[in-house]
RNA sequence: UCCUCGGUAGCUCAAUGGUAGAGCAUUCGGCUGUUAACCGAAGGGUUGCAGGUUCGAGUCCUGCCCGAGGAGCCA
C-alpha cells in the first residue's frame, strides 16, 4: 500500500493509501469514529464505521489516545464535511504505540499557560501553531541564504568560541576551554571583515550568545543572526542591501507560506505593504518624531524599547534609521566625515511596533583611527592585533550588518514574543528542555 | 538587578477568615457525520515551601522558591 503525505491527499482521491502519523483528536458518534491524524505535513480526518471494519479494528481505534502513533489504511475521498476537504475511509489501522490513559499526552486541545507550554516545549512543537511558525522560520532562513547566494556572496562562518576580551566580557558567556577560558560569540562581524577581504562579499549565519539579563519580549540569550559584510561598500550600499533583503524575505514568505500565515491569524496585508522603497530617516529626525510623540528621549542617547515601538508604529513598512551618535555605537563604527560625532551606521525597525531587526554600518578602515578607538574604549590591544592587521594590509572601505532571525520571524508571524520563534528558546530563566 | 502580578485537581481557572468547586483531560455508558462534538456518571487535592497571627487560614503577616509582565541592560 503506498504511503502518502497528508498534504498531498487531494492528489490521491479514490485511491487506497496508507498515512502514518499521530492521533490529533478523536471524535465519536455512536457507531462512527472520526480520528484526526496528523503526520507533520497536515491533518486529515479518518472515518471508521462500525459496519465496515472488524470489531477488533473498531475497538482499536476507539481506544486510541491523543498523540498515539499509528498507520491507517483506507480510501481517500473528497468530502465537504471533512476539515481539509478530503478524508480517509479507514479499513485497517496499525497502532505503533498507544499512549496509556493513566499517563496521557499533557497538551490537550484546550488552553494552557505559557509556563506549562514552555516546560513541554518538546511536545508543544507538535501543535498546528508551532508547526506553522517552524515553517515560516525555515522559509525565512532559506530566503536569506538564497538572497545572498544569488548575489555572489560566499558563506564564511565565524567561530562560536572566541578568545578572551574581544569586546569586553560583561555580556559574554564564559566557558572552560581546556586550561584556558573562552567566550561564546556575540557576533561574527569581526571575522566577517577578515572574510570580506578574502572573498569580497561574505555572510555568516549562526547562533549568537548574549549574557545580558534582559527580560523582554524581544530578547533571547541564544539567537541566530545572519551577517553580511561587503568590501568597498559604504553606508548607502549597505542600507540598500538591507532593504532589498527584507523585502525579498517578506515577499518569499507571502509567496510560499500563505497557509502558515493563515494558521497564525497573521494579517497578510500588513506584510504586503512592505515593498520597496522603505522610508529612511536620520537619528536627528527620529529624535524629533519621538519628542513630538511624548518620549523623554534626549539627543545623544540610544532608543529604549518604548522608543523603538513608537518609532516603528509611525510607518506601515520597515523604517531605516541612520547616523546615530557615535557614542552609543560600537568602537569600530566609521564616523561621518561631515559630522564626526555621528556614526555611519544603520538600524532597521520593523513596523507594527516590532522594533529593531537589523543593525550595522560602515566600519573604520583607517589603522590609526581604529587603534585610537580601541585605546579609548580600554580594550586590550593584543587581542585586536589580528583585527588591526586587516587595516595594515590592503585596507578598504567596507560595511555590513546583522539581522536577528528570531525578531524577523516574530514580526512576520505577528507573534508577541520571540520565545515562540525558535524551537528551544534560551532565556534568562529558561534553559530547559 | 529593580518594580508589578501570580502559584488551588494532569491542564485552565473559581472559592466574604468558616464544609475546597467548575470546565477540559482520564475511565465507564449513550448517540451512524462529528468539527476544541454533544449528553449522563465516576475517580481525581500536602491550595509552591517554611514559619507566624487566629477558635478557625487557599484567603491575613514574614521569609524563601518558581514563573509571568514590564524596566534597566543590550552593536
Cell numbers at A376, concatenated: 579609548
Residues 150-169 of A with CB under 7 A from strand B: 167
Residues 77-136 of A with CB under 7 A from strand B: 79, 81-83, 87, 101-102, 104, 106, 108-116, 118
How many CA atoms does the CB half-sphere of A8 hold within 13 Å? 10
Rounded CA separation A189/A183 (Å): 15
Q: Which CATH class is domain A122-420?
A: alpha beta
pTM of the model: 0.93
Domain ranges of chain A: 6-97, 122-420
**A353: helix, coil or strand?**
coil
Given the cut 0.85, state whether the ipTM is greater than it: yes
**A63: helix, coil or strand?**
coil
Listed residue (A187, A160, A169, A189) closest to A378, CA to CA: A169
Domain A122-420 in the same topology as domain A6-97: no
Per-residue confidence of chain A (433 residues) as pLDDT tens digits? 899 999 999 999 999 999 999 999 999 888 899 999 999 999 999 999 988 899 999 999 999 999 999 999 999 999 998 888 999 999 999 999 999 888 888 998 888 888 899 989 999 999 989 999 999 999 999 999 999 999 999 999 999 998 865 555 568 888 888 988 888 998 999 999 999 999 999 999 999 998 888 888 899 999 999 999 999 999 999 999 999 999 999 999 999 999 999 999 899 999 999 999 999 999 999 999 988 887 778 888 888 888 888 888 889 999 999 999 998 888 999 999 999 999 999 999 999 988 899 999 999 999 999 999 998 888 888 889 999 999 999 999 999 999 999 999 999 999 989 999 999 999 988 887 8
Cell numbers at A270, concatenated: 500588513
Measured CA A26 to C1' B34 distance, in angstroms: 9
Answer yes or no: is A295 CB < 7 A from strand B: no
Answer yes or no: is A32 CB < 7 A from strand B: yes
Cell numbers at A315, concatenated: 510607518
**At A174, phi and psi to the nearest 5?**
-95, 135
- Burial of residue A191, with CB atoms counted within 10 A of its CB: 0-12 exposed, 13-18 middle, 19 or more buried: buried
Domain covering A6-97 in this structure, CATH number = 2.40.50.140
Amino acid at each position: 500500500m503506498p504511503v502518502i503525505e497528508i498534504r498531498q491527499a487531494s492528489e490521491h482521491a479514490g485511491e487506497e493509501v496508507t498515512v502514518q502519523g499521530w492521533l490529533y483528536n478523536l471524535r465519536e458518534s455512536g457507531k462512527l469514529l472520526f480520528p484526526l491524524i496528523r503526520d507533520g505535513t497536515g491533518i486529515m480526518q479518518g472515518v471508521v464505521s462500525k459496519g465496515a471494519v472488524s470489531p477488533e479494528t473498531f475497538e482499536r481505534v476507539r481506544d486510541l489516545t491523543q498523540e498515539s502513533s499509528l498507520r491507517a489504511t483506507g480510501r481517500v475521498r473528497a468530502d465537504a464535511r471533512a476539515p481539509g476537504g478530503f478524508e480517509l475511509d479507514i479499513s485497517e489501522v496499525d497502532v505503533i504505540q498507544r499512549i496509556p490513559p493513566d499517563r496521557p499526552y499533557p497538551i490537550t486541545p484546550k488552553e494552557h499557560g505559557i509556563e506549562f507550554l514552555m516546560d513541554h516545549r518538546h511536545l508543544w512543537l507538535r501543535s498546528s501553531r508551532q508547526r506553522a511558525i517552524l515553517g515560516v522560520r525555515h522559509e525565512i532562513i532559506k530566503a536569506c541564504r538564497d538572497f545572498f547566494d544569488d548575489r555572489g556572496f560566499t558563506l564564511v562562518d565565524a567561530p562560536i568560541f572566541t578568545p578572551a576580551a574581544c569586546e569586553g566580557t560583561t555580556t559574554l558567556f564564559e566557558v572552560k576551554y581546556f586550561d584556558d577560558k573562552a567566550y561564546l560569540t556575540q557576533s561574527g562581524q569581526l571575522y566577517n571583515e577578515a572574510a570580506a577581504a578574502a572573498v569580497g562579499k561574505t555572510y555568516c549565519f549562526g547562533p549568537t550568545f548574549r549574557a545580558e539579563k534582559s527580560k523582554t519580549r524581544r530578547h533571547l540569550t541564544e539567537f541566530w543572526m545572519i551577517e553580511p559584510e561587503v568590501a568597498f561598500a559604504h553606508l548607502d550600499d549597505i542600507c540598500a542591501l538591507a532593504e532589498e533583503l527584507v523585502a525579498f524575505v517578506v515577499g518569499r514568505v507571502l509567496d510560499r507560506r500563505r497557509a502558515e500565515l493563515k494558521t497564525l491569524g497573521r494579517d497578510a496585508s500588513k506584510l504586503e505593504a512592505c515593498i520597496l522603497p522603505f522610508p529612511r530617516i536620520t537619528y536627528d529626525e527620529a529624535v524629533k518624531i519621538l519628542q513630538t510623540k511624548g518620549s523623554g528621549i534626549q539627543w545623544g542617547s540610544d532608543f529604549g524599547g518604548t522608543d523603538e515601538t513608537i518609532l516603528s508604529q509611525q510607518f506601515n513598512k520597515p523604517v531605516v534609521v541612520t547616523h546615530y551618535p557615535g557614542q552609543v555605537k560600537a568602537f569600530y563604527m566609521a564616523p561621518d566625515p561631515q559630522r564626526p560625532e555621528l556614526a555611519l551606521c544603520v538600524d532597521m525597525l520593523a513596523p507594527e511596533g516590532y522594533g529593531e531587526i537589523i543593525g550595522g554600518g560602515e566600519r573604520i578602515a583607517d589603522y590609526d583611527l581604529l587603534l585610537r578607538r580601541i585605546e579609548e574604549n580600554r580594550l586590550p590591544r593584543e587581542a585586536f592585533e589580528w583585527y588591526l592587521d586587516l587595516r595594515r594590509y590592503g585596507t578598504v572601505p567596507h560595511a555590513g550588518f546583522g539581522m536577528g532571525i528570531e525578531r524577523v520571524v516574530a514580526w512576520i508571524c505577528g507573534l508577541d514574543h520571540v520565545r515562540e520563534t525558535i524551537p528551544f528558546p534560551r532565556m534568562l530563566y529558561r534553559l530547559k528542555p
